[in-house]
Amino acid sequence: MAYHRHRLGARERGDPAVNRARRVPVQAVRKSGCSLCPAQPGQPCQAQPAGDHLSRWLAAYQAGHISRDELARIFSELVVLTRFQVVPELGAA
């Protein structure tokens, strides 16, 4: 039986360039408060691990704060898709 060594991706390694790329959209997503919870602008929807509801990401996209590619990257990372789903910050999960 052959064993394959799992290679860590940039996200798993905590690559600073990936962290910066993810931080920009998070700041853009938090320009407005969340419609599902009491999170105010600038605050995450969930403190531990820090993250924001998917609906907040969708609202940021509709408002033009994040690009389609940034939103697509988030969708590719999620297993369950509901508006209540919390998208964790990179490195917080």
Q: Provide the residue ranges of all domains of the chain, joining segments of one domain with +.
A: 10-88
DSSP-assigned states of every residue in the chain: ----PPPPPHHHHT-HHHHHHHHHHHHHHTTS--SSS-PPTTS-SBTTTTEEEHHHHHHHHHTTSS-HHHHHHHHHH-SS--TT-EEEPTTT-
| pTM of this structure | 0.70
Q: What mean pLDDT comes out for the span 56-62?
A: 95
7-23 pLDDT per residue, tens:
444 444 455 544 444 56
Q: What does the pLDDT read at residue 88?
A: 87
